[in-house]
């Protein structure tokens, strides 16, 4: 999103907290101040996500490796099969509109 300063701030905060908190699965509350009640510790994907974030900030051009055109084709197929109007041909736009982020 062309905000490397904001990304660096988030990574610095994560770097201070994650290892002390033993790499939890997630944090609770609106501000993320507490480790989640059901959160598991020492989670590999937490560590992997942190390391990936650091590397993407250092090498932003590598972000293109996280996306393939085939992903949208697969998403379009799945979204169309799950929609109520499955008989109608779905558009790529309709498939994207059903993505929850």
For residue 25 the two structure tokens come to 């699965």
C-alpha count within 13 angstroms, C-beta hemisphere, residue 23: 10
Pick the closest to residue 25 from 37, 9, 41 (CA basis): 41
Pick the closest to residue 14 from 43, 59, 49, 40 (CA basis): 49
- Across residues 70-93, what is the average pLDDT? 64
Pick the closest to residue 50 from 5, 14, 8 (CA basis): 14
Q: What is the pTM of this model?
A: 0.59
- pLDDT > 60? residue 94: no
**Alpha-carbon gap, residue 87 to 90, rounded angstroms:** 9
**Alpha-carbon gap, residue 68 to 74, rounded angstroms:** 10
Check residue 3 and give its pLDDT: 86
**Per-residue pLDDT tens over the stretch 34-50:** 888 888 898 888 899 99
């Amino acid at each position: 999103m062309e905000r490397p300063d904001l990304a660096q701030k988030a990574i610095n905060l994560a770097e201070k907290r994650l290892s002390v908190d033993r790499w939890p699965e997630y944090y609770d509350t609106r501000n993320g101040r507490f480790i989640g009640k059901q959160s598991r510790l020492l989670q590999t994907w937490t560590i992997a996500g942190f390391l990936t974030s650091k590397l993407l900030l250092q090498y932003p051009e590598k972000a293109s490796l996280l996306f393939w055109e085939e992903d949208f084709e697969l998403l379009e197929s799945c979204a169309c099969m799950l929609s109520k109007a499955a008989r109608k041909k779905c558009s790529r736009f309709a498939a994207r509109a059903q993505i929850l982020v």
